[in-house]
Each structure stands twice: as structure tokens, then as C-alpha cells.
Structure 1
Amino acid sequence: MEDTDCDILEDWFIESIKTYKDLHVYQLEHPTQVIEWTSGKTVCVAGYSESKNEILELRLPLKLYADENKGLCAERDFKVAHGGFTDSPVRRLKHIPGTRCVVTNDGLTTDLQLWELGGDDSDVIRRTGSIKGRKSASASGSRMAARLSSPPHVLHGAQSSDVQLTEVASGKMLYRLETDSADLLSALQFVNDTIFLAGCCNGCVYVADTRKPGAPQLSPPPPSSGESSLWWTDASTSPHVSSCRVVRLSSSGRAVVSDLRNPGEAVSQAQLDVQTRRCSLDHVSVSWAPALNDCVSVSGFSGLVQLYSTSAWRLEPQDARPLFQHRGHAVSSQQNDEGAPAFVTSHVWHPERPRTLLSAASDGSVHVWDWVDPDR
């Protein structure tokens, strides 16, 4: 590592003392593009190489949860709680709430694999079954969403025309999205126990209720200025649909916020400060903070995770600067000799801690960090 890189890394660590309440770093043997909460203190990760891959349930550092006397807490590292192996890539992974079951997809077909995470009597993650998708092959694999309450159901599909709700225990199809349009999906998400959103790569959004058969609500993509863009979508979750908002992010860095009841009509938008030279359908993500108002996170364009406050966005497009940037993956990757800088492959917000996030990068690094609001 060159002296300049050492200086950059050292400067960032000194800066992090003031900009982070907590920062913990972990190194996986192989990179992951999935980070999924299995409890408030454990997450699941898995490799995505073409050969044999590990599936791991990691326990977050206990020091992260020490309210007082953090310096006296001995456990400062991630710990492997459970582990297993799969012969295929893991491109998607979803935990079924209320169970010790996760569902995976290899990104090559629409079939799903079922896994038991083990418990107190076993540290082995083992495969227990599968769910057949409606297509034998797929260019991007199946998107997945888990129903928020029991009994265990999983929503899955690669295109808008093959989205279905399946009972995990029996494999029985319970619901099918009624549409003839075969739009490639970039997101599937339950916003409450019955209503879900299907975001498409072309910017279209479907909103449907699994209790009501028939055509879903379809909203077209945001008006464009001629650019051909991929779109990623996320909705805030709430028992009341009236308070849910949708954010759509394009590969050109344009973010559009709308009301879930009328996602086709923008209420605010902004041009984000992202590197649009490279972006992958599988790596870019945008996400509402679950416990922080008006805040969205963006990653996958580079080695950064960027946080934006949408409170000042207006209907007319404007340039938006990040509220906070996690540069840890970009800075530490300068130690590598492979030439290409690391890029963020996945990130998630903690479901309860307002400013705590996890992020993973292409160099196998996993960071958990609690950022300090610069305006407070």
C-alpha cells in the first residue's frame, strides 16, 4: 500500500471518531450481496460466486448494544452463530418473520430454496426444501418479499406477470398478480400485511392487495427527459397506507418521491450526487430509514453509502447533497492490489436503531456503523 493510501485511511479513521457513534469492521472470506436481519442482533449473509458458497448467520458486536461503559465490553467483533453451504450463488435472501427459516434465490432461475437456520442445539444451516417458480430460467432471478405476520408466506417473481404469493409450508399458490405486462422487477415489498408494491426496472409501479383478486393499481414511470434508465424502488412501511411513501431512483441519479396511494404523481424529486458511470441492477439499492423521518439511503454506484434528507426536496428537480456519506469501504479498499476500487454490494438499516446501518462491499468487507447527524 502506497504512503498516500495510508494517509487517506489514517485521516478517515481520525475523522470517524467524530462522525460515528459506533463503527465495527468485519472481513468475509468471500463477498456478499445479501444482508438480511434474522433478529435485532443477528444478520444472514451469503456468497454469490459460481462455486460453493457459505451461508452465515452473524451475531453483531455486543459492544454495539452497550449503552454505558462501552470500553469495558470485551465483545467488539462479529461472531458466526450458524453456518452452512450451498452449491449455487445466493443473489437474494429473505428471512421469514417469526421463524428460523430463510428463503434464497440463485439469480439464474425463479426457483426458491428453503433453509433452516438452526437453533440452540445446532449451529448448522441446512436446506429443507424448495419452491418452484413459474419460469425455468431468468436473466436476473426472482425478487422476494416475506409477509410481515404468520402464517409464513413468501411473495416472489422475476417479472410483473409471474408474481405470486406462496405458502411456505405447503408450496401452495395463494395469490397471483393479474397483469399481462412482463416487466422485469427490481423490487417486491409488503407495505403492510396484505398490500404490496412491485417496482419494475422501467419505473412502473404496481400496488396490489392479496385479499382482492383482479387487476392491480398500475402507475407509469416518472416522465423522462429522453434518458433510458433503470429504476429501483422502495416504500416506507406502515399499518396505514395513507402514510406510506414511495421513492424511485434511476440509474442517472434522479430520485422521485410519491404517495403510495398515487405513486404516479411526484410530490418531490432531486438529482442525487452519485457516480452514474457504473451501476448494476443487482447492486444498486435505495431504502427508506425505518425509524428516521424523511431519510433515504443509496448505495451500489460506488464504494459509498449515501444518506439523503428528503424534507427539503421540492416538486421541481434540484441538486441534492448527501446528509452523510459512509466512506469506509472506499477508503479501506485502497489497500487492495487488484486495481479496481471496491463498490458497495448491499446495505440495510437496523429495524429499530435510527442511525445504525450495515453495509457490505465487493472486497468482502462488512461494516456496521451508527452515524452522527452533522446538524445536531
Structure 2
Amino acid sequence: MFDSAAESGDSEDEWFFQSIRRYEDLLMYDVQGVISSAVFRNDNRLLLASSREHTHEVWELSVPEKLTAGPDAGLTKDRDFKQITAGYTPDRTKEMLVINSKVVLSGPKSVCMYNIPSFSDPTDVMSHICDIRNDTGDATLAQSESCIYSATDVTNLTDFNFNTNKVSQLSSLPSQISRKGSDDALKISSIVYRSGKLYIGLSERGITYVYELGTGKVIQEITASDTLSGFWKIDISQDEKFVAFANSNGRVNVYDTRKLSEAVFEEKKEVQDQTKSNHQIHFSPEGNLLSLSGYSKLVEVFDVSDHSDRTEVFCHDGHRDEQISTILTHLWHPSQNKLVFSADDMGTLQAWRFK
């Protein structure tokens, strides 16, 4: 396990000198609000949803050229984040997705769409276009080539076709899923789209259903070996080789989808507050690295590839302020290797590339 400076009590100066050896890049940006969600528009643009007191906003930031130009670029012009556009929202945002020049937001009352102004637009303010659905709150989102999927449980999963602007319900799904237990057993925490399929993770049970959109059938059920109580989240590697489960009680399991009989990676995290569900689990774009956050101030990265020993390869401990209690969100850059963005509950955004 990586012996982080944050946990060993080293001074800020000692941590700074250690970071020079450990990081290729490390940038920090104060958002002055709690970041609830983040998504890349493209390699050079990042969207953040933030809240402070009763004000809720979505920002579009330029990613510093320092991070995308590469190690041999020398001096670069842009070395900090810059705000490009922004817009107010009526409530906090749970999740976001980007479709070309539009952003889809999931909030406590609806799933809605906003316009992102172009460079030639005289205004730099994001504007509300429409409500995709207003029959559910805090829906989980996923995106395919032509549709946005949203749901809070398996009975209300819908797709919005952004070519035709039509919403339809995937009505065949509920009848194919076990209804054992209470209604909470049907709640969805994660939806991941891969190659014509939806991987649907249930929040109250360590179960992921693989739903084939072309046939409208559940073609596989993947179950974590230890279905503890708590709040479950999942992710699927881009090549669909690995599926990862993370539980709010600290249990993390990764399975090879070609052999589900036993986990290829297991980890048990200490949990500060078991009532929270801030934990996140993400595969890197290449699929060999797995990142975890939300259990503490740390973002941890593990190698789960075939020929690794499944050990921790990096631990980001840059969220060091005493007032910080946890990481609220983190995400991998879509094309830059080993480049991760993370945000804590005090409104600090950090971008870091590890060696």
C-alpha cells in the first residue's frame, strides 16, 4: 500500500517535495462551491456542476494546455483552468452527460437539457432547452450513440432519442428482473452503456443486469460474491472485459466477465461514514487501471490487468485541507494517460498525472 504523506503526518513542505518525485503534473483550482458532478465535453473542455448555499451552476472550463500538450511541449501558454461558459440551474445536479453542444442534467425534480453556446455565439450563458422527463428525481444517466437513458429503478427506465426528441420506456425490463425483497431492491445506482448493451447496477443489491437493447432481453446477471448491505455502484471497462463493484461499506470486487466464478481483485476499505454513498469506482480509458474515491480524502489507483499483481500503483493525497472530509467526484481524462481530475467537498478541483 502506498504510504501517503497525508496519512503519515508529513509537513506541507515535505509533501510538496515528495509530490515533485511522484507527479508529472499537479494543478489545483478553487471552484468556490461544492462540485456534485463532472464530465468531459471533449479533450479540452470540462463541465462542472457546483452548488453554494442556494445557487446552483454548470461551468464549462478549458483544460490547461499544460496538461494536454505532452511532456515534450516545453512552455505552454495556458497553464490554468479558464471559465468559458456557465449557466444557472434551479437545483443541484446529480449527474451530467454531454451531447455535442448540449448538456443533459439529472436533478431532484427532472432530467433536463441545456444549450452550450458556441465560440461564435454572442452570449456565454447556457440556456435551458427542455425537460426530457419530470416524473422522477435524481435519475441515473447513461448515453449511447443516439439515446440518453435515465432511471431511478428498473420500473421507470426510459430512453430519449436526441435525433427524434422522443421518449420511450423500456417496458420489457421489469418482468425479467427478480423482485425479491422490498421495492428498494429495484433501485438503480449505475447504468453503463457498452456496445448495444446496458449494464444496470442495483443500488441495494450487488447485482448487475446486462440488458441487450436490440432484443429487449436481459442476457446476463452478474452478482458480487459478497452481497453486503449498503449502497452499490458499478463500472465496466471499455472493452467489457472487467466489471467492478464498490459498496458503501468498503467492499470492492472486480470480475473478469469471461470467468465470473471468483473475483480477480478484492479490496476492503475503511469507511468513515457508512450512511454516505459518495464512493466512486472508474476504469481508465485503457481499462487496465481502476480508481476508487469517496471513502476518504484519497483517490487510489490499482492495476487490475491480466499480468499485474493487482496492487495499488498510485495514491493521490493532494486534498489535504483539514476541513475536507471526502472526495465527491473524480474522472479520467478521455485520452491522456494517467491524468485524473478530482474534486473534494470543500470545492477544490485538482488535476494530476502520476508517473
TM (norm. structure 1) is: 0.82
Residue 61 of structure 1 corresponds to 64
2:143 is equivalent to residue 143 of structure 1: no
2:77 is equivalent to residue 81 of structure 1: no
- Secondary structure at 2:20's aligned position in 1? helix
Residues 136-157 of structure 1 show CA distances to partners (whole Å, capped at 9, x for unaligned) of 4x5xx1000111x2xx310110
* Structure 2 CA distance for aligned equivalents of residues 305 and 12 of structure 1: 16
2:190 is equivalent to residue 196 of structure 1: no
* Structure 2 CA distance for aligned equivalents of residues 69 and 235 of structure 1: 33
8 Å CA contact 1:256, 1:266 repeated in 2: no
Between 170-179 and 12-21, the greater mean CA deviation after superposition: 170-179
8 Å CA contact 2:236, 2:244 repeated in 1: yes
Number of matched pairs: 336
2:266 is equivalent to residue 270 of structure 1: yes
Residue 101 of structure 1 corresponds to 102
What residue ranges of structure 1 are gaps of 5+ in the alignment? 335-339
Residue 24 of structure 1 corresponds to 27
8 Å CA contact 1:94, 1:145 repeated in 2: yes
Query: What code does the residue aligned with 2:226 have?
Result: P
C-alpha displacement at 1:178, in angstroms?
1.2
What residue ranges of structure 2 are gaps of 5+ in the alignment? 1-7
1:256 corresponds, among 250, 253, 258, to 253
8 Å CA contact 1:179, 1:215 repeated in 2: no
Query: What code does the residue aligned with 1:286 have?
Result: I
Between 53-62 and 174-183, the greater mean CA deviation after superposition: 174-183
Map residues 195-274 of structure 1 onto 2, 5 A cutoff: 195-201=197-203, 202-215=205-218, 217-224=220-227, 227-238=228-239, 243-260=240-257, 265-272=261-268, 274=269
1:309 corresponds, among 299, 303, 309, to 303
Query: What code does the residue aligned with 1:115 have?
Result: Y
Residue 318 of structure 2 corresponds to 328
8 Å CA contact 1:233, 1:286 repeated in 2: yes
Residues 282-341 of structure 1 show CA distances to partners (whole Å, capped at 9, x for unaligned) of 521101111252x10000111110111224899xxx9x7532111011x2x13xxxxx43
C-alpha displacement at 1:247, in angstroms?
0.7
* Structure 1 CA distance for aligned equivalents of residues 69 and 218 of structure 2: 49
Residue 14 of structure 1 corresponds to 17
Residue 33 of structure 1 corresponds to 36
- Secondary structure at 1:29's aligned position in 2? coil
2:350 is equivalent to residue 370 of structure 1: no
Higher percent of residues as strand: 2
Map residues 287-298 of structure 1 onto 2, 5 A cutoff: 287-291=282-286, 293=288, 295-298=289-292
CA 78–289 in structure 1, closer or farther in 2 if over 3 Å, else same: same
* Structure 2 CA distance for aligned equivalents of residues 177 and 290 of structure 1: 31
Divergent runs of 4+, >4 A = 68-71, 279-282, 311-314
Q: CA RMSD in A?
A: 2.6
Residues 176-228 of structure 1 show CA distances to partners (whole Å, capped at 9, x for unaligned) of 45115451111111012x1110111111111011111244533344235xx42
Identity between Structure 1 and Structure 2 (%): 21
8 Å CA contact 2:59, 2:84 repeated in 1: yes
Residue 5 of structure 2 corresponds to none
- Secondary structure at 2:255's aligned position in 1? strand
Between 157-166 and 68-77, the greater mean CA deviation after superposition: 68-77
TM (norm. structure 2) is: 0.86
